[in-house]
Amino acid sequence: MNYPRILFCIFLMALVTYLLRMLPIAVFRKKIHNRFFQSFLTYIPYAVLAAMTFPEVLYSTSNGEVTIASFTTALCGFLVALLLAYRGKGLLTVALGSVAVVFLVGLVVPYFPFFI
The residue ranges of every structural domain in the chain are 46-111
Q: How far apart are the first and last CA of the chain?
A: 42
pLDDT in tens, 3-47: 899 999 999 999 999 988 888 778 777 787 888 888 887 888 878
**Alpha carbons 54 and 60: distance in angstroms, whole number:** 10
Spatial neighbors of 70 by CB under 8 A, at least 6 apart, are: 59, 61, 62, 63
CB 80 within 8 A of CB 47: no
DSSP at 59: T
pLDDT at 28: 75
Average pLDDT, whole number, for the chain?
87
- pLDDT for 116 equals 60
pLDDT of residue 115: 66
Question: Contact, 55 vs 78, CB < 8 A?
Answer: no
